[in-house]
């Protein structure tokens, strides 16, 4: 498998993640899922480049760690929003609800 096919999968995933993120206007859960698709696609791109160069994979582990932290923070915001408002629809939030 060449680096171009791995990069192609990563680029397609990044584009799909960006389109999904821009189309999510009301649901926070959908926005978080599209951000995870975006993060995993960037990870695939980085992994493909590191694998092609044959260098150390510490960069991949660090990026994956940052992705896990981003997912944990997003999940905590989602849980906090659902507990305080009662749903994950961001469009109905006022200034003082959150």
For the record, the structure tokens of 50 come out as 């590191």
Angle between helices 3-23 and 28-53 in degrees, nearest 10: 160
Q: What is the pLDDT of residue 73?
A: 92
Q: What is the pLDDT of residue 69?
A: 93
Q: What is the pLDDT of residue 44?
A: 87
Q: Domain-by-domain residue ranges, the chain?
A: 3-87
- How far apart (Å, rounded) are the C-alpha atoms in residues 31 and 10? 19
Q: What is the pLDDT of residue 84?
A: 81
The residues of the chain scoring below 70 in pLDDT are: 1-4, 56, 90-98
Residue range 3-87 forms a domain whose CATH class is mainly alpha
The pTM is what?
0.76
Q: What is the pLDDT of residue 76?
A: 92
């Amino acid at each position: 498998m060449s680096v171009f096919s791995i990069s192609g999968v990563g680029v397609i995933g990044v584009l799909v993640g960006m389109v999904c993120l821009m189309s999510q206007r009301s649901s926070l859960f959908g926005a978080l899922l599209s951000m995870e698709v975006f993060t995993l696609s960037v990870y695939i791109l980085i992994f493909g480049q590191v694998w092609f160069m044959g260098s150390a994979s510490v960069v991949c582990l660090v990026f994956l760690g940052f992705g896990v932290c981003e997912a944990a923070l997003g999940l905590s915001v989602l849980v906090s929003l659902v507990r305080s408002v009662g749903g994950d629809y961001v469009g109905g939030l006022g200034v003082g609800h959150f």
